[in-house]
Structure 1
Amino acid sequence: MKKQVQELRWDPILGEWVMVSNIRESRPWQPKDFCPFCPGAPETGYGWDVLILKNRYPMLSEEPLEPYRHRFYNSSYSYGKCYVVIETPKHDLDDISDLSVEEISKVIHMVRDKFIEESTDKRLVYFLFFRNKGREIGVSLTHPHSQIYILPFIPVKVFRELVNSNKYYQTKKQCIFCNIIKTELEDRERIVYSNSSWIAFIPYYAHWPFEVHIYPYRHIQTLRDLNNNDITLLAQTLKIVLCGLKNIFENPMPYILVMHQAPIHGNYYFYHFHIEIYGIYRTIGKQKFAAGMETGGGNFTYDSTPEEAAEILRNAIDRKCSLSQ
């Protein structure tokens, strides 16, 4: 019988943790005859609108296995928590944008409540909410769902944001994210949607073909800072933006959605809560891959311009999307 492994391994060259878990190999992969997330399944039951369940095949664990002690390399316990957010009882929806604003708001409320609940654990460092959409991304189950990883470290991309936003604040005494909002409002050409609380735009420095960032106008750090009105207007923004991405091309856009917020503990006054969405189609039937330059070199290439992509997405929103759908 193969030994189970679940641990963090330190990459001494890049200075970052790699999560290792061969428990993940056992998870179901796009089953056709049974959906474990539908109402009536053993873990779900009936009578719910949104469910948050512990992941049965976790990358992290509250009772992690003993890490392998190598003579040279460093490893550590993979303490943490992994949850699945089942966003709706409805199995056959193409995307969360097919839900109503009220239904999307329920999902965000549940995630915020889970963040507040887990914040009492001092061993946990970072709460990462993310959503993978599309078989091209590697989604194992198609029932609408998202995930939560509560980590014992800060993810490396967020860590870089924290370092650089702190440097900017120490130099300018201003929030770089707030200044990006100001700049986008002045330029206008990269904005795809906005309301009284949120602005959605394709950044000047976008990496992915249809990469949309969603910022609150209000300078906040974490989910805890969102009030009920913020959540309703965020649900509106997500519905419109994701609907637009779905309708750009003949096939719905595969995407990755990730919530970036400050670490669970501490005061990161220089940081600004936001959401990043990475739409991966360049054009009809053509997918952007993180290939040699991106994966091997670490710098992205962009085959169009963010301004052109923003115009395409705005047109799709204008043609196909409304809050009443």
Structure 2
Amino acid sequence: MRELRYNPLTGQWIMVSAVRKKRPWRPTNFCPFCPGSEETGYGWKVLLLPNRFPMLSFDAPKPESEEFYKKARAIGQCSVIVETPDHDLKDLDELPREQMVKVVELWVEATKTLKENPHVAYLAIFRNKGEEIGVSLTHPHGQLYALPYIPLKARLKIENSRKYYKSKNECLFCRILKEEKESEERIIYENDNFIVFMPFFASWPFEMHIYPKRHVQYLTDLNKEEIESLADAIQATTGTLNTILERQMPYTMMIFQAPFKGNYKFYHLHIEFYPILRDNGKIKYAAGIEMGTWEFTYDAIPEENARKLKEACKKVSQRLNLKGKCI
């Protein structure tokens, strides 16, 4: 059974898929993403593979109707982005730069392809890292969900961005960049085309965002130089996170693009990292107030944690051969 169920209280769609129960959990005797496996073969640098346990599928059946509750076809695509043939690399900062560029190029190509599919309203490209996050396979990989609807968090960002644009005649994200540039208090890293910073409104202890300096809506808007700069900024971010506590940082990364249907000239491509450790061995749990109200508490001072991130960035700058500067 695979279907979408609508929550009339929040306006969210819930993806339901019984096949997800069959996912393997950290197998030790084989890796389906390593070269030579049934799914991968040989001679590749990056791969986009179908998720064997998908929430969405373009051939999803039409669910039986309900008298009150609303259901819909779980139509879409779930894919795995295998980022390297090397099983033992721990994170994106360990990839050679040219390999990181190939990963970004795959994100761009997937965006280009799925934008042309009339069934896809929104593309979520994301990355989970670490056992604490719930990653079931340790080989470096990301994922994408091509959704037939716009998810709630993206809808909220779009609506607030639209309201701000109508009121101020400027992009909300561009204004955030301006504010951060003027103070530099929370900027961690900057290269020619991207800025990495801890947001003023951070929810997670070492949360980091990446904004392009140029006002663009999609990964497909980026030119070759910007693609290389984004690869550099991604590695600066992950390297900093893996240095801040002198251990590998578990996190979730999400790429926010504009929806595929409609005109979103007021919106701005951006990437967000949600690291879940507040200290070594101490997890920032999304508990009562967060789960119950979606309102976050921040158990520190963001600017103090930003200073720690700045120092961590400086420590890894030379190792990563970063093209920009740690602020």
| In 2: Cα distance, 1:259 partner to 1:18 partner | 20
Q: Specify the SS of the correspondent of 1:247.
A: helix
1:159 aligns with 2:158: no
| In 1: Cα distance, 2:316 partner to 2:169 partner | 42
1:269 aligns with 2:272: no
1:35-50, aligned counterparts within 5 Å? 35-50=31-46
| Contact 2:50-2:78 at 8 Å conserved across structures | yes
1:140 aligns with 2:136: yes
Deviations along 1:201-241, one digit per CA (max 9) or x if unpaired, are: 00000011111010000000011101111010010111111
| In 2: Cα distance, 1:214 partner to 1:41 partner | 34
Question: 1:324: which partner in 2?
Answer: 321
Residue number among 221, 238, 244 corresponding to 2:234 in the alignment: 238
| In 2: Cα distance, 1:207 partner to 1:37 partner | 33
Alpha-carbon distance change, 43 to 221 in structure 1, aligned in 2, over 3 angstroms? same
Shift of 1:28: 1.1
Residue number among 87, 90, 94 corresponding to 1:91 in the alignment: 87
1:174-323, aligned counterparts within 5 Å? 174-322=170-318, 323=320
Deviations along 1:10-62, one digit per CA (max 9) or x if unpaired, are: 00111111111111111111101100000000010000000001111101001
RMSD, aligned α-carbons: 1.0
Could you list the runs of 4 or more consecutive aligned residues of structure 1 that deviate by over 6 angstroms after TM superposition? none
| In 1: Cα distance, 2:187 partner to 2:281 partner | 25
Shift of 1:315: 0.8
Question: 2:325: which partner in 1?
Answer: none
Deviations along 1:262-294, one digit per CA (max 9) or x if unpaired, are: 011222011000000001110111000100000
Shift of 1:111: 1.5
Question: 1:32: which partner in 2?
Answer: 28
In structure 1, list runs of 5 or more residues that go unmatched: none
Q: Tell me the TM-score normalised to structure 2 length.
A: 0.96
Q: Specify the SS of the correspondent of 1:161.
A: helix
In structure 2, list runs of 5 or more residues that go unmatched: 323-327
| In 2: Cα distance, 1:257 partner to 1:230 partner | 19
Q: Specify the SS of the correspondent of 2:311.
A: helix
| In 2: Cα distance, 1:174 partner to 1:78 partner | 36
Q: Specify the SS of the correspondent of 1:137.
A: coil
Q: Tell me the TM-score normalised to structure 1 length.
A: 0.97
| Contact 2:11-2:152 at 8 Å conserved across structures | no
| In 1: Cα distance, 2:62 partner to 2:266 partner | 37
Q: Specify the SS of the correspondent of 1:135.
A: coil
Aligned residues: 321
Seq. identity, %:
49
